[in-house]
Amino acid sequence: MKENIKVYAFVGPSGTGKSYRAQLVASENDIHYIIDDGLLIHENDVVAGNSAKKAPTKIETVKKAIFLEKQDRKEMREAIQKIKPDSILILGTSDGMVEKIAENLELPKPEKTIYINQVATETEMETARRIRTTEGKHVIPVPTFEIKRDFAGYILDPLQIFKYRKNDTPYISEKSIIRPTFSYLGKFTISDTAFRQITEYVAKKTEGIHRVSRVRVENSVGATNIYVEVYVIFGYNILSVLRDFKQRVKKEIERLTTMNVQEVSVVAKGIHIPESEEK
């Protein structure tokens, strides 16, 4: 079965914009599946795999990207076997890397190779390199909602680009920008105080919340969880107030910090009775 799959290669040095242009290259060559940094992507969906951009070191990233680990190879082979795609575009930093990926996944050698300098100018590639080096930004060629759960705790931004296909049909190319665990800029952190201040700000704007009594931020590998205790004003429906406040906090933190928050837990610590009610 795999011998019937047409394999294409998209090759270019790291940070020159391959992931940014992957969907366009695939579309122009009538390819519907892409293998990029450990992921199997079908148009705007992640079909299988684990992103190499989540790896803690560059060495581990390379291992993930070329499916060196047995479990990664097994999962991807099974996905390809089940889907039976007609063609696949494999992204790599060299011809050898693409051939290694194809070999590990038991796919045929690429029958056509597209190089980054064939689809991007030197100026565009230099701009991509500069952004990677100075800002540590990486692109994943799928919409943000598709990878949001897997990249909880990472800086995560949506990117939409209006483009035209060969037949002049307009379409939106949806991508995501992330800052991986490893980075040229080192570790990126946001103070717990910032999370607390945002939470208190939202509390003041939320009807039914008297004040925030406690905020605890829990950071683990690939996840940020926030625990909040509040006092609810007497007379309000507690469940409705907490539900509304929870949604507002998550939305505002993600908007202001571009961090993806996995979970916000809100607990009513007590009831605040206004003086007029006490009398």
Does pTM surpass 0.85? no
Of 118, 152, 179, which closes a domain?
179
Question: Mapping DSSP to helix (H, G, I), strand (E, B) and coil, where does residue 190 land?
Answer: coil
Residues 172 and 217 grouped into a single domain: no
Residues 262 and 207 grouped into a single domain: yes
Scan for tokens 């270019």, then name that residue: 12
Average pLDDT, the chain: 79
Residue 172's domain comprises: 2-179
**Opening angle at CA 175, ends 82 and 89, nearest 5:** 40
Residue 267: how many other CB atoms lie within 10 Å: 11
Of 119, 147, 179, which closes a domain?
179
The torsion of the CA quartet 67, 57, 37, 175, rounded to 10 degrees, works out to 160
Q: pLDDT per residue over 93-109, tens digit each?
A: 999 999 999 999 999 99
Q: pLDDT per residue over 130-158, tens digit each?
A: 766 655 556 555 544 444 555 554 544 44
- 185: confidence class by pLDDT, cuts 50, 70, 90: very low
Question: Is residue 187 in some structural domain?
Answer: no
Residue 99 · residue 109 · CB < 8 Å:
yes
Question: Is residue 184 in some structural domain?
Answer: no
Residues 127 and 223 grouped into a single domain: no
Of 147, 179, 211, which closes a domain?
179
For residue 267, give the CATH number of its domain.
3.30.70.1350
Q: Which residue has the higher pLDDT, 244 or 221?
A: 244
Residues 89 and 209 grouped into a single domain: no
Specify the pLDDT at position 100: 94
Residues 50 and 77 grouped into a single domain: yes
Residues 6 and 96 grouped into a single domain: yes
Question: Is residue 186 in some structural domain?
Answer: no
Specify the pLDDT at position 179: 52
